A and B are shown apart, each in its own frame.
Chain A
């Protein structure tokens, strides 16, 4: 076993690496895309080019990347209003995402959904849901559909720690298990339920993992700041689901670098907490890991520069896109494309 010294989380047999160079570069690229699109979203908000609110996933990129990297292109993702990372990681365009945040015609949803509802069905990103818990039962339905149709599609459903205290979480887990559905539930435990420490309002220490046994599921906890670890656990759970062996519930421990939303500076966090988590910044750690693994630093830098260039291009394209036309208002309430409720 060739171990790299001085890096505790870094225990890989390089000769028999289970992840491999191609996947690792992909995981790194996905994390970079998430990081730089989110930072750009923050900049554009400060320039008043993005209105309303948005909930950034800065610091949680390894979870989006690790799962997206482990999924097949026709698998389904369901996520929350903190869903930019997940939608992007499934392949939605940066222009579509930034354009939607800016309320432009080029937006993924034509300006009708906004930051909290990013969806790209063509990429299997089946929606971002802004009412806590709602999308867990909906993900169950997608998994039921795959099972019924005999397809091999797996549904992955992301949610926050706060979701574990709402009824829909429990209804969904129970139904997924009794029907042995191909769905993987992923709790991104970033320690805070909006502004309140999750531990202050939850009966158990690990809000998702400690509830798993109630639904006949294994208790699984993963370091959500390590894309390799996330990828490994994702692969295992997704493979299990695809083989018809039923659902999984995974709790990924992570940390939100910014506040809950735009309105929240995160002042409630104890001194030093953010700093200690920034030392475990998933993107920085992964970059270092690649270099430790022997990827040339210049290539790592080049990869990052390419991502930045694409974010710049997407930003400029989105800025140039028109605001949505008035006709968009009355379009697509109904499947016939219209909005009429009377004759």
Chain B
């Protein structure tokens, strides 16, 4: 084990996969000489050279298109989209091309590729550089959607994404880049589609993702200490595939579910999970499902405004306490 930051784990994960397989190549804006605008790719150009670590122009369609064409013809590319908000300028390649190529060609085409991107708020960047858009990806059949909350999962889930033969959108939460954690050394690979139970309780099950995971954990500690409410916390880690078995089993034990998501309210991923739970285990629930989300409003940039919009530890704590009063 070594203690790494979330951002160092990104570079470590890319390096691990590039060392393992010569067909893994990496392209994106400012990823080479600059080491990434979030410093997530430092050292990769030096180790792997400009043929495998390619700086691109500001051409998001070309970045993702090139990744797709390369994946169709024998490589396993990693593409970086600097901010997940920018996926909107190349969404055609994601939603119409990558997601559908295999199905439409009756399996003639495989796309072993990863699109990694800095997602989510908390960095005071305003409405076009702070969105949490993993729910966009979740609505498209044919794309896997992964979002780690810890440095260890960054490495393990990223390795799994690179080794997967399908297109994977890998959402790194940019406000977690400075967070630290123990990361297994050597070859570390997790399985996509397996949620992680981080804490077990009796009264409710909190389902969270990415930045919402540490906040949900802290809120759960406070609920236990201050109010005697004991919560299970699940880190989903992956929206597609979705580990419904773990969710359903854990909610069955506690009888209550709270989802905590950074997505704006309408059609955030919590809505889909709430719908599955309501449909499949309604009579095992002891009370209404609670969704804690960012309001359905573009994110404001001022720190005190942004902090009021994205679910905070305090808000998670308050909303759960209210639901239990």
Contacts and interface: CB of A to CB of B under 8 A. Distances in A.
- Real complex partners, A and B? yes
B57 A137 contact: no
Interface stretch (A12-20, A110-118, A224-232): A110-118
Contact of A337 (B59, B65, B107): B107
A144 B107 contact: no
Interface in A319-341: 328, 331-337, 339-341
Contacts of B69: 78, 126, 137-145, 155
B72 A142 contact: yes
A151 to B, nearest CB: 9
Contact of A134 (B92, B103, B244): B92
A172 interface: yes
B185 interface: no
Given A112-B103, A117-B105, A341-B240, A145 B65 contact: no
Contacts of B74: 145, 149
Q: Main SS of chain B's interface residues? A: mixed
Nearest to B112: A335
Interface in B94-126: 96-97, 101-110, 112
A146 B245 CA distance: 43
A145 B110 contact: no
Interface string B53-85: 010110101111111111111110100000000
B108 A121 contact: yes
A155 B110 CA distance: 18
Interface string A143-166: 111101100010100000000000
A109 interface: yes
B105 A119 contact: yes
Interface string A183-220: 00000000000000000000000000000000000000
A136 interface: yes
Contacts of A332: 102-103, 106-107
Contacts of A108: 106
B70 A127 contact: no
A138 B241 contact: no
Interface string B226-252: 000000000000001111110000000
A175 interface: yes
Contacts of B52: 148
Interface string B40-57: 000000000001101011
B10 interface: no
16 contacts: A109-B105, A110-B106, A122-B108, A126-B69, A137-B93, A138-B65, A140-B62, A144-B69, A145-B72, A148-B51, A171-B57, A172-B62, A175-B59, A335-B166, A336-B165, A343-B241
